[in-house]
Amino acid sequence: MALEKVTLGKSITNGLRKAMEADPKVVLIGEDIGKLGGVFRITEGLQKDFGEERVIDSPLAESGIVGTAVGMALRGYRPVCEIQFDGFVYPAFDQIVSQVAKMRARSLGALKIPMVIRIPFGGGIGSPEHHSESPEAYFAHTAGLRVVACSNPEDAHWMIRQAVACDDPVIFFEPKRRYHDRAEYDTAAASAPRGLFEANVIRQGTDVTLVGYGPVVKTMIESAAAAEAEGTSIEVIDLRSLSPLPIDTIVSSVRKTGRLVVVHEASSFLGMASEISAQVTEQCFYELEAPVIRVGGANIPYPPSRMEEEFLPDLDRILDGVDRALAY
Amino acid sequence: MSDKVVAELHEPTPSVGDGGPDMIQLLTPEGQRVSHPDYDKYVADLTADELRSFYRDLVLIRRLDAEGYALQRQGELGLWPSLLGQEAAQVGSGRALKPHDFVFPTYREHGVGFVRGMDPQSSLQLFRGVSQGGWDPAEHNFHLYTIVIGAQALHATGYAMGMRMDGNVGTGDPDRDTAVICYFGDGASSQGDVNEAFVYAASFDAPVVFFCQNNQWAISEPVEKQTRIPLFQRARGFGFPGVRVDGNDILATYAVTQHCLDEARNGNGPLLIEAYTYRMGAHTTADDPTKYRVSAEVEEWKFRDPILRLKSYLAHEGMADEAYFTSVDEEADRFAAELREGCVTMKTMPGETMWDHIYAEEHPVMEAERSAYLAYKASFEEAN
Ligand SMILES: Cc1ncc(C[n+]2csc(CCOP(=O)(O)OP(=O)(O)O)c2C)c(N)n1
Ligand SMILES: [Mg+2]
C-alpha cells in the first residue's frame, strides 16, 4: 500500500513515468513537452530523467506529431503524442482518421499501431476559442480507434498506463479543468490491471441513471447528491470508454431505473449521447419509462468564455434533465 | 542628443544571435542611421513629423500591451499575449501598408491593428472572453485574429489570389494595385498550412507578403527546433524571394515591407520577410519563461530595444526633444486610462445571443435551442 494524495494531472505524469520505466520503447512527443513539461506540466521532469530522445519536443506541427509517431510505431516504438489543446488536434485529423485508424486493417493484421494520443479537452477554464472543445465524437465515430476519457486522479493513473500498453491506437481525453483535482489512492495498486474499456458505476441508485465521462462526472456526482436530498435516487455511471462503448453496464442500469440522462460538454447533436440513446432504445424499449434525455453543450461553436457557463451542463441543467426524465 | 538617452544606450550590443550579415538594418541598436543601397529610398522622404508619429505609435502600443498585461493580472482579461519587443516589426510593417491592402494577423498583432486604425479595445475582446473575434474585418482591412497556428497563411493566399482574379495587381495604378500581408511566427513556419500557403502563393503568383516575426521562441521551443536554416532562406526553395530585416529597427521594417508590398502589388509576389526580433515577455500571461530560457538572453535583447533606438535617432537628429517625448508619455497615460475604462465596462452579451450569427440563413436548431434556453431561464425566475 502506498496511499498518496495526488492531482489528476500528476497522476498522468506518474502513469507515464511508470510506463516509460517499464518499456524502453515508450516515447513521448509533443509541443513544449520537454523543458517546459507541457503547458499543463503533465510531462514535467520526464525529459530530464529520460532524455531528449524519449521526450521529444516536436516542431510546431500536429500532423507531424501524429504522422511521425505512426512511423515510430511501425518501427517498434510506443509513441505517446501530446496535443496541446483539443482545438489543435485538427491539423492531425487526416493522420489520425485515415492513417492511424486504418493501418492495421489494411495490412490484414500484419501491422499494429500501439499509439496513444493524449488530448486535454473540455471547457470551463476561461480561455479564448479552440481551448475548450470536446471533439471526442469525431474520433469515436472512426472505426479503428479506441477512445477513452478519465475523470478522476486514480483512474487517470492506471488508465494512461493501460492505454500505453494497448496494442491499438487509443485517443486519451483528459478533463483539463479537473487537472488540479486531488484524490487519495493507493498508487502502488493503481497499476493493477483493470478494464480500460469498462464503465464504472460510481453510485448506485434506483430512480434515474446518469451517464457521462470526463469533466462532467464530478458534476454528475454532485447532482446525484443534491437529488438525493430531494428524495430522488440516482445511479451514476462514469463511461470511461467512449469506443468501444460499455453499453452493457448502461443497459443493466436502465433495466433497473427505467430512466436515462446522458451528459457531456460536447454539442448534443450527434454527440456520444445520441449513440447511447439509440442503443439503449434498441435494447430497453420496454423497460424505459421515459425517453433518453441528453444534457449537452449547445449546437454552436464554443462560445466566448464569459458565456461558457450558459453553454456547459452544470448541476442545475443536469437536475433539469433528471426532472424531465421523471416527468413521464 | 539628451544625456538621458545617451546613458540608456551606452552599453555595447551583444554579438550572439544578431541576425547575421544578411539582415537589413537602417538604424543600429544605438540609433545610428546606416545606409543601404536598396532600401534608403523608402525612408528618404520621411518627414520629421512622420518619424515622430512612428515613435508615438511605438510608445502607444507598448502601453496598450502593458495595460493588457495588467488587466489580465487584475482578472479583467482571461489571457494576454504580449507584443513587448516586437513593436517596431509591427508598426514598421503596418505603416508600410496602404488602406486598401489587407492584413491577416495572428493573435499578437495588436500593434498592426492599432496602426490600421482599429479601436484599441478591439484586441481585448477575445481575451476578455466577450467575443471570439469581435470586429468586421472590412472596416480596416484587418482580418480577425487567428489562434490556430498558421491557418491564416492559406486564407491570406486565397485572398490575394482573389485580388489577382479581380485584376487589382500589376495595373500600374497605385490606387488599384493591392497586396495582402500575412503575419505569422517562427513556430508557425513548421505548420503544413504555412508551407502549403507558400506553394499556392508561388503557383498562383499571389500578391501576398508573408511577414514572419521570428521572435526566437514558440512558447518554450527555440527557433532552432523549427529550422536549420535562417527562415527567410526558406522562400527560395518555394521559388520566391525572402529577406531578413532587423525587426527591432522600425526604419528597416518599414522600408523592407514597402519594397515587398510594392513588388506584390506590381505582380511580383509572393515574398517572404523574416523580421528578426525577440519576444521580451512570456508567451502569454499563462506562460512561465523561467522554465526554459535564461534571463541573460532577455537582458542582451534589451540593448536592441526598438523604442530607445528610434528615440535616440530622433534626439540625435534634433527631430524631437525631451518635451516631445514627455508629451507622448502623457498621451500614453490618457490612452491607457481610456483603454482600461473601455475594457472593464465592456459588455458581456446575454446568453441567448449565443445562437446569433452562426448561419447566414435561418436554421431551425438555432431558433429551437434559443427558445428552450429562454424558457429554461424563465423557469428559475418563476421559481423565485
Ligand atoms: C495548431 C495549433 N497548435 C498549437 C497551438 C498552441 N500555440 C499557441 S501559440 C504557440 C506558439 C507559436 O509560436 P510562433 O509561431 O513562433 O508565434 P509566437 O507565439 O512566438 O508569436 C503554440 C504552440 C495553436 N495555437 N495552434
Ligand atoms: Mg515565435
Looking at the predicted structure, is the pLDDT value of residue A277 above 70? yes
Convert the pLDDT of each residue in A69-111 to its tens digit: 999 999 999 999 999 999 999 999 999 999 999 999 999 999 9
Q: Do A138 and A162 fall into the same domain?
A: yes
What integer pLDDT is reported at residue A192 of this predicted model? 61
Q: Do B217 and B355 fall into the same domain?
A: no
Q: Would residue A14 count as lying in a domain?
A: yes
Contact indicator for B254, B260 with CB cutoff of 8 Å = no
User: Does residue B148 have its Cβ closer than 6 Å to ligand 1?
Assistant: yes
A193: confidence class by pLDDT, cuts 50, 70, 90: low
CB contact under 8 A, B192 and A91: yes
Average pLDDT, integer, range B206-212 = 98
Q: What is the number of helices (H) and of strands (E) in chain B?
A: 15, 7
Q: Do A170 and A259 fall into the same domain?
A: no
Convert the pLDDT of each residue in B252-293 to its tens digit: 999 999 999 999 999 999 999 999 999 999 999 999 999 999
What integer pLDDT is reported at residue B31 of this predicted model? 96
Rounded distance between C-alpha atoms, residue A306 and residue A310, angstroms? 9
Rounded distance between C-alpha atoms, residue A240 and residue A212, angstroms? 8
Q: Do A12 and A62 fall into the same domain?
A: yes
User: Does residue B219 have its Cβ closer than 6 Å to ligand 1?
Assistant: yes
Q: Do A115 and A249 fall into the same domain?
A: no
Q: Do B307 and B367 fall into the same domain?
A: no
Average pLDDT, integer, range A115-126 = 98
Q: Which residues surround ligand 2, an ion (CB under 5 A)?
A: B 185-186, 215, 218
Q: Do A179 and A227 fall into the same domain?
A: no
Contact indicator for B352, B370 with CB cutoff of 8 Å = yes
Convert the pLDDT of each residue in A128-170 to its tens digit: 999 999 999 999 999 999 999 999 999 999 999 999 999 999 9
Q: Do A160 and A16 fall into the same domain?
A: yes
Q: Would residue A153 count as lying in a domain?
A: yes
Of the candidates B72, B65, B58, B82, the one whose C-alpha atom is nearest the C-alpha of residue B298 is B82
C-alpha separations of B173 from A17, A159, B168, B269 in Å: 64, 65, 9, 17
Buried b (16+ CB within 10 A) or exposed e, A110-139: eebbbbbbbbbbbbbbbbbbbbbbbbbbbb
Q: Do B23 and B155 fall into the same domain?
A: yes
Q: For residue A85, give its domain range.
A: 3-186
Average pLDDT, integer, range A4-20 = 97
Q: Do B325 and B361 fall into the same domain?
A: no
What integer pLDDT is reported at residue A190 of this predicted model? 62
What integer pLDDT is reported at residue A194 of this predicted model? 73
Q: What is the secondary structure of B164-199 as a DSSP string?
A: HHTT-SSSS-TTT---EEEEEETGGGGSHHHHHHHH
B383: confidence class by pLDDT, cuts 50, 70, 90: confident
Contact indicator for B233, B20 with CB cutoff of 8 Å = no
Last residue of a domain, one of A141, A162, A186: A186
Q: Do A136 and A247 fall into the same domain?
A: no
Average pLDDT, integer, range A121-129 = 97
Positive or negative, the CA dihedral B220, B222, B224, B230 is positive
Rounded distance between C-alpha atoms, residue A76 and residue A68, angstroms? 13
DSSP A98: I
Give yes or no for A91 touching B (CB within 8 A): yes
Of the candidates B50, B115, B9, the one whose C-alpha atom is nearest the C-alpha of residue B251 is B50
Q: Would residue A258 count as lying in a domain?
A: yes
Q: Domain with A276 in it: what CATH number?
A: 3.40.50.920
Of the candidates B223, B220, B145, the one whose C-alpha atom is nearest the C-alpha of residue B183 is B145
What integer pLDDT is reported at residue A189 of this predicted model? 79
Q: Would residue A220 count as lying in a domain?
A: yes
Q: Do B297 and B165 fall into the same domain?
A: yes
Q: Do A228 and A153 fall into the same domain?
A: no
Looking at the predicted structure, is the pLDDT value of residue A123 above 60? yes
Looking at the predicted structure, is the pLDDT value of residue B8 above 90? no
What is the CA(B193)–ligand 1 centre distance, in A? Answer: 13
Judge if the upstream peptide bond of residue A301 is cis by omega within 30 degrees of 0: no
Q: Would residue A91 count as lying in a domain?
A: yes
What is the pTM for the complete model shown? 0.96
Q: For residue B365, give its domain range.
A: 351-383
Rounded distance between C-alpha atoms, residue A82 and residue A117, angstroms? 6
B162: confidence class by pLDDT, cuts 50, 70, 90: very high
What integer pLDDT is reported at residue B12 of this predicted model? 44
Q: Domain with A176 in it: what CATH number?
A: 3.40.50.970
Looking at the predicted structure, is the pLDDT value of residue B16 above 90? no
CB contact under 8 A, A127 and B148: no
Last residue of a domain, one of A158, A186, A214: A186
Of the candidates B153, B144, B145, the one whose C-alpha atom is nearest the C-alpha of residue B193 is B153
Q: Which of A87, A126, A301 sits opposite B78 (nearest CB)?
A: A126
Q: Do A217 and A179 fall into the same domain?
A: no
The number of distinct structural domains making up chain A is 2
Rounded distance between C-alpha atoms, residue A151 and residue A133, angstroms? 16
User: Does residue A82 have its Cβ closer than 6 Å to ligand 1?
Assistant: no
Q: Would residue A263 count as lying in a domain?
A: yes
What residues does A261 pair with on adjacent strands?
A210, A293
What integer pLDDT is reported at residue B15 of this predicted model? 44
Instruction: Mention every residue, 6+ apart, whose C-beta is less than 8 A from residue A222.
Output: A315
What integer pLDDT is reported at residue B3 of this predicted model? 52
Q: Do A174 and A298 fall into the same domain?
A: no
Looking at the predicted structure, is the pLDDT value of residue A267 above 90? yes
What are the cell numbers at B139?
472596416
Helices B87-96, B250-263: inter-axial angle, 10-degree rounding: 40
Contact indicator for A85, A123 with CB cutoff of 8 Å = no
Last residue of a domain, one of A156, A186, A216: A186
Convert the pLDDT of each residue in B281-290 to its tens digit: 999 999 999 9
What integer pLDDT is reported at residue A1 of this predicted model? 80
Nearest Cα of chain B lies from the Cα of A201 at a distance, in angstroms, of 30
Average pLDDT, integer, range B206-229 = 97
The number of distinct structural domains making up chain B is 2
Q: Would residue A28 count as lying in a domain?
A: yes
Average pLDDT, integer, range A7-15 = 98
Convert the pLDDT of each residue in B296-337 to its tens digit: 999 999 999 999 999 999 999 999 999 999 999 999 999 999
Q: Domain with B99 in it: what CATH number?
A: 3.40.50.970
Of the candidates A59, A48, A51, A57, the one whose C-alpha atom is nearest the C-alpha of residue A24 is A51
User: Does residue B145 have its Cβ closer than 6 Å to ligand 1?
Assistant: no
Contact indicator for B307, B95 with CB cutoff of 8 Å = no
What is the CA(B220)–ligand 2 centre distance, in A? Answer: 9
Q: Do A141 and A220 fall into the same domain?
A: no
Q: Tell me the ipTM for this assembly.
A: 0.96
Contact indicator for B232, B244 with CB cutoff of 8 Å = yes
What does residue B203 show for φ and ψ, rounded to 5 degrees? -60, -35
Q: Do B251 and B360 fall into the same domain?
A: no
Q: Would residue A94 count as lying in a domain?
A: yes
Q: Do B52 and B32 fall into the same domain?
A: yes
Q: How far is CA B68 from the centre of its chain?
A: 15
Q: Do A262 and A178 fall into the same domain?
A: no
Give yes or no for A315 touching B (CB within 8 A): no
Q: Do B121 and B11 fall into the same domain?
A: yes
What is the CA(B283)–ligand 1 centre distance, in A? Answer: 9
Nearest Cα of chain A lies from the Cα of B74 at a distance, in angstroms, of 14
Mean pLDDT in chain B?
A: 95
